[in-house]
Amino acid sequence: MTQYFQAIVVGAGPAGSSAALAMARAGLDVALLERGNFPGEKNMFGGLLHRMSSLEAYIPDFWAKAPVERHVNQKNLTFMTADSTVNVQLESGNFDQAPYNGYTVLRPKFDKWLAAQAVEAGATLITRAMVDEVIMEQGQIKGVSVLGRTGKLYAPLVIAADGVLSFVAAKAGLRSGTFKPDQMAVGVKALYDLPKQVIDDRFGLTRDQGCANEFVGCTGGVRGGGCLYTNYDSVSLGLVVHIGSLKKGKKTPCDLLNAFADHPHLSKKLKGGRLMEYSAHVIPEGGYDMVPQLAGNGMLVAGDAAAFCNVTGMHLEGVNFASHSGILAAKAAISAHKDQDFSEQKLHGYIKLLDNSFVLQDLKKFKHAPKMLHNDRIFNEYPDLACRLMESVYRIDGKPKKGVGRLALDAVKKTTGVKNIARDIFTAWRAL
């Protein structure tokens, strides 16, 4: 059966559902396609949702209505070796009041809810819809066909929000070839069931407060990092590891995650927890240099499909970038319908909107960060340096104490070397 819409969104993740919501609110007849049985069935991330201020404009009191687990008022960065940890903690009262700075969420619940907001606004959700081909007529995209179904879906505008591999953008010719392993990471996550009171006691939380803990030095020499996020009555433990480094090190993500969970620091946090699920997901981490063509004749690209993920070592942002880019794509689509012009030139208005937003501005600002993170010393030597230094500062052995400066210099000489640390500080200063 052939169907006609004013816009088709491929992918009911945060980018796609946000785009469908904004267009439906503007009165457009929108089809939102999802390849899973329901939105969120095939989506995964570590579990930390940064504030989505653009979505709050469409959903007032977002923090009270969305199915979030906890709001994050405690942030931790932990440097880890095989038997030591050094932790830096921020617990802020400013993060303990709405609108909150971030939340822990579970994607199956959150994505299903966000897509439902788009449906409530008037969008048509079509599940189990795997796009097979992009319909092209006289150089203009006119719709898509769905695998295994007769008939086609037509619309003058298609928004590709189908994830980092984005076969839709590739079929439309907006992305040449595949992304390189050096631009990609794989995220793996284990979800452990724990009672709310146990979580509150172990992490020093009350009410619906949450903790977000990032780790460096936990990936067995592979470039990457770890995370531990508290949900309402479960915790998410995850790793993000660089695919190129993973292949070179000949280690599996599963083995690395198991070793991470067995570390003495983590085993105390997870004690008594029951493993509920295990999941994995490919992540774009190439930054601004990885962004493909974003607009074509009848098509826009948003979210992970556009490589909108900000990986700096201090930040790992993706869902907020995805949602905001989806809303900006919707605004460009609304303008195109107003003028009945779906040419690439007209749709370049989307890129102008992105240029004026935090999405492209942050990606440009930190465009050198991905290359900086290819430095193996960050994941091997610097965690050891941090732990070695703090052990020296606090060691009481009956010998005269050295000054902190002397201790730091000794630790540097035994690990990274003075020249290397000077070079790395300069590189980090340029990147961050």
Residues 356 and 404 grouped into a single domain: no
Q: Which residues contact 240 (CB under 8 A, 6 or more apart)?
A: 46, 185, 186, 187, 224, 225, 226, 227, 283, 285, 316
Find the CATH number of the domain harbouring 250: 3.30.9.90
Q: What is the mean pLDDT of residues 349-360?
A: 96
pLDDT, tens only, 87-104: 999 998 999 988 889 999
Query: Do 164 and 296 fall within a single domain?
Result: yes
Q: What is the pLDDT at residue 178? A: 62
For residue 55, which amino acid is it? L
Mean pLDDT of 352-374: 92
Task: Among 284, 304, 338, give the residue marking a domain's end.
Answer: 284
Q: Which residues pair with 143 in a beta bridge?
A: 135, 154
Sign of CA dihedral 282, 283, 285, 289: positive
What is the Cα–Cα distance from 333 to 135, expressed in whole angstroms? 18
pLDDT at 234 > cutoff 80: yes
Q: Does a structural domain hold residue 142?
A: yes
3-state secondary structure of 212: strand
Torsions phi, psi for 368 (to 5 deg): -90, -10
Domain contains 92: no
Tell me, yes or no, whether 355 and 295 share the same domain: yes
Boundary (domain end) residue, out of 284, 303, 338? 284
Which of 25-39, 178-192, 283-297 is most confident?
A: 25-39
Among residues 229, 257, 284, the one where a domain terminates is 284
Across 112-125, average pLDDT? 97
Domain check: are 219 and 359 in the same one?
no
Domain span at residue 401 reads 380-431
CATH code of the domain containing 360:
3.50.50.60
Report residue 17's pLDDT band, with 50, 70 and 90 as the boundaries. Answer: very high
Amino acid at 244: G
Is 123 in the same domain as 190? no
Q: Beta 310-311 vs 316-317: how paired, if at all? A: antiparallel
Assigned token pair, 330 = 């919707």
Residue 130's pLDDT band, with cuts at 50, 70 and 90, is: very high
48 and 135 share one domain: yes
